[in-house]
């Protein structure tokens, strides 16, 4: 396990950093990738031996350069966690095309570009991909025309990956987190939305980064060696209730 290499996008903070920390604690080599160089350096300093790569996952040239760096430094790749994402709460009438594109660029194109760029290295190992979507990709709402659509697309992209890549031994699964108190959620969850989530979630609370990271690590690990094409909600039971998104 010590030799395995795990690349996590959006790893400078939040769920990505919690995931990198958990893989690191398991003795795996981790590569932290993020577009925020300053926050990335601070995060990488907490994980001795981690490689940090500054890259915007929505820019093909930067993605290609990042993978060259990973290949040169690590020589292999076993696990890819596509976690980088941006939030946007807005209805159809108020979402102009630039806003729509900003969300799709990172949340959908970023997953496509990173997965494609990692494929040659992953194929050699029969590795695993874990994509991070959201309960917003499972349930429609009045507020998430771009974000919800991008996450629903990530769910389907995961199933496409599983169908296509099984024959080279690569598994692909998807995690749909419920609300977690990260910078992303704090920016878009008003007090009213927070209160509504507390009521709508059977466990009556937000999740933690660590709780999401545990599911990601399981799906990526050998313990899930016969699991592929699956969508796992880690959401305190929210999706099981049939209640609409706040």
Which of these segments, 83-91, 113-121, 165-173, 226-234, binds ligand NAD (CB under 6 A)? 83-91
Decide: is 35 part of the binding site for ligand NAD (CB under 6 A): yes
Residue among 4, 6, 7, 16 that touches ligand NAD (CB under 6 A): 16
- CA atoms within 13 Å, Cβ hemisphere of 188: 15
Which of these segments, 67-75, 84-92, 93-101, 223-231, binds ligand NAD (CB under 6 A)? 84-92
Total residues belonging to the chain: 246
> What are the φ and ψ backbone dihedral angles of 67, each rounded to 5 degrees?
-70, -35
Contact code string over 87-116 relative to ligand NAD, x by CB under 6 A: -------------------x---x------
Decide: is 184 part of the binding site for ligand NAD (CB under 6 A): yes
Q: How far is CA 179 from CA 26, 84, 164, 235, in A?
A: 26, 16, 31, 7
3-state secondary structure of 226: coil
Tell the smallest beta-carbon distance from residue 3 to ligand NAD (Å).
26
Residue among 5, 7, 8, 10 that touches ligand NAD (CB under 6 A): 10
Of 85 and 236, which has the nearer Cβ to ligand NAD? 85
Tell the smallest beta-carbon distance from residue 92 to ligand NAD (Å).
20
- Cα torsion 86, 87, 92, 98 to 10°: value is -30
Residue among 28, 56, 114, 170 that touches ligand NAD (CB under 6 A): 56
- CA atoms within 13 Å, Cβ hemisphere of 148: 18
C-alpha 89/C-alpha 218 separation (Å) is 30
Q: How far is CA 185 from CA 49, 125, 160, 174, in A?
A: 30, 35, 28, 19
197 noted as active-site residue: no
Residue among 5, 7, 8, 12 that touches ligand NAD (CB under 6 A): 12
Decide: is 83 part of the binding site for ligand NAD (CB under 6 A): yes
Q: Which one of the listed residues 147, 197, 206, 238 is annotated catalytic?
A: 147
C-alpha 57/C-alpha 80 separation (Å) is 13
Q: ∠ CA 175-181-185 to the nearest 5 degrees?
A: 80
Residue among 14, 90, 148, 236 that touches ligand NAD (CB under 6 A): 14
C-alpha 37/C-alpha 243 separation (Å) is 39
Catalytic residues: 147
The residue ranges that bind ligand NAD (CB under 6 A) are 9-10, 12-16, 34-36, 39, 56-58, 83-86, 106, 110, 132, 134, 177, 179-180, 182-185
């Amino acid at each position: 396990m010590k030799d395995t290499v795990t690349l996590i996008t959006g790893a400078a903070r939040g769920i990505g950093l919690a995931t990198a920390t958990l893989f690191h604690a398991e003795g795996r080599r981790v590569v932290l990738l993020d577009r925020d160089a300053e926050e990335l350096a601070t995060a990488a300093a907490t994980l001795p031996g981690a490689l940090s790569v500054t890259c915007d996952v929505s820019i093909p040239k930067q993605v290609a350069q990042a993978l060259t760096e990973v290949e040169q430094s690590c020589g292999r790749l076993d696990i890819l966690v596509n976690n980088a994402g941006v939030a946007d709460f807005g209805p159809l009438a108020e979402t102009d095309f630039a806003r729509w594109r900003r969300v799709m660029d990172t949340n959908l194109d970023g997953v496509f570009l990173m997965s494609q760029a990692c494929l040659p290295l992953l194929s050699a190992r029969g590795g695993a991909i874990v994509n991070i979507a959201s309960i917003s990709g499972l349930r429609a709402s009045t507020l998430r025309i771009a974000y919800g659509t991008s996450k629903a697309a990530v769910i389907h992209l995961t199933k496409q990956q599983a169908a296509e890549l099984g024959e080279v031994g690569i598994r692909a699964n998807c995690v749909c987190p419920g609300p977690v108190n990260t910078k992303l959620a704090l920016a878009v969850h008003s007090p009213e939305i927070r209160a509504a989530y507390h009521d709508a979630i059977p466990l009556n609370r937000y999740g933690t980064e660590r709780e999401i990271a545990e599911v990601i690590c399981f799906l990526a690990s050998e313990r899930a060696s016969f699991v592929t094409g699956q969508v796992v909600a880690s959401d305190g039971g929210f999706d099981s209730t049939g209640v609409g998104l706040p």
